[in-house]
Amino acid sequence: MRVRARLFAAIAALAAIVDTRPAMAASPSPDLARLERQVSLQLAHVRDRGPTDPAKRKQLFDASQFEQQGEAAIKAGDYKSAEDSLLKAQAILRQLPD
């Protein structure tokens, strides 16, 4: 009976280890996480300045939408789409003058 209990415990431990490996591999890359932080900070900075020109506000809205799409894609595990959306947001934010 003790052998069965040890065998069961060993199998359960192995299953737990195998179960966590895909979760670790499915995390976003450090570069993507850094890009997400940069875009969020740039967006917050532009929002704080509060552009009054309607064209600039439209650009800010578009950048905000891309940033939200990127965050949603990260949560869904679609890192390629997340990177594309965040890069689009970053490009828009860079066009807005300081």
The rounded distance, in Å, linking the Cα atoms of 27 and 91 is 25
Phi and psi, residue 78, nearest 5°: -95, 80
The encoded tokens of residue 61 equal: 């809205």
**Average of per-residue pLDDT values in the chain:** 82
Q: For 41-79, how does the pLDDT look when each residue is reduced to its tens digit (9 = 90+)?
A: 999 888 888 877 888 889 999 999 999 999 999 999 999
Reported pTM? 0.69
The dihedral built from the CA positions of residue 51, 57, 63 and 66, taken in this order, carries a sign that is positive
Question: Per-residue pLDDT for 39 more than 90?
Answer: yes
- Asked if CATH classification 1.20.1270 holds for the domain at 28-95, the reply, yes or no, is yes
